[in-house]
C-alpha cells in the first residue's frame, strides 16, 4: 500500500525551494547546478520531473522564456517553515512548545549570543510584543 501524500515538500523538493527562494526564476540547468553544488548530483531528466511535479503540487510556477522554462516558487519560505514546524510540534511533541525547546537545548550546541537572543525573544513575548 502506498504511503499517503504528506502535504509538505519532500527533502529534494525542499532543497529546490531553497535554491529558488534565493534566486528566481531559474531554468532547469541552473537548478541542477545549484543542487550539484550541494552534493546532490541528479540527472537532468530527474530535475525536470521533480520540478514538474512541484508545479502540479502548486509549489512552483513555470513560465516559458523562448525555448526555456523558468521556475519560481509559488509558496513563501516563511509559510512552508511555519507549516512544517507546526506539524513536527503537533506530531512529535504533542503540541508542547516547552518540549520542543527542551529538545532543542539537548540536541544543539547554542552559543552565548544565541542563548541571549532567545532570552530577549522570550522576554518580548512575555511583554506582549509579538513582533519578532
Q: In the prediction, which pLDDT does 4 show? A: 60
Helix axes 11-22, 28-36, angle to 10 degrees: 110
Q: In the prediction, which pLDDT does 54 show? A: 97
Q: In the prediction, which pLDDT does 128 show? A: 83
Q: Coil, helix or strand for 7?
A: coil
Distance CA 132, CA 124 (A): 8
Q: In the prediction, which pLDDT does 101 show? A: 87
When mean pLDDT is compared across 29-43, 59-73, 95-109, the lowest value belongs to: 95-109
Q: Which CATH number applies to 11-73? A: 1.10.10.10
Cβ atoms of 16 and 54 within 8 Å: the answer is yes
pTM of the model: 0.81
Domain ranges of the chain: 11-73, 77-126
Q: In the prediction, which pLDDT does 131 show? A: 56
- At residue 29, φ and ψ (nearest 5 deg) are -60, -40
Amino acid at each position: 500500500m502506498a504511503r499517503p501524500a504528506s502535504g509538505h515538500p519532500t527533502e529534494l523538493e525542499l532543497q529546490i525551494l531553497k535554491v529558488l527562494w534565493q534566486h528566481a526564476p531559474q531554468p532547469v540547468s541552473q537548478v541542477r547546478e545549484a543542487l550539484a553544488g550541494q552534493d546532490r548530483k541528479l540527472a537532468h531528466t530527474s530535475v525536470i520531473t521533480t520540478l514538474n511535479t512541484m508545479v502540479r503540487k502548486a509549489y512552483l510556477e513555470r513560465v516559458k522564456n523562448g525555448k526555456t522554462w523558468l521556475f519560481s516558487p509559488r509558496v513563501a519560505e516563511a509559510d512552508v517553515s511555519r507549516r512544517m514546524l507546526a506539524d513536527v510540534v503537533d506530531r512529535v511533541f504533542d503540541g508542547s512548545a516547552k518540549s520542543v525547546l527542551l529538545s532543542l537545548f539537548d540536541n544543539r550546541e547554542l552559543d552565548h549570543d544565541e542563548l541571549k537572543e532567545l532570552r530577549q525573544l522570550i522576554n518580548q513575548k512575555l511583554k506582549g510584543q509579538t513582533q519578532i
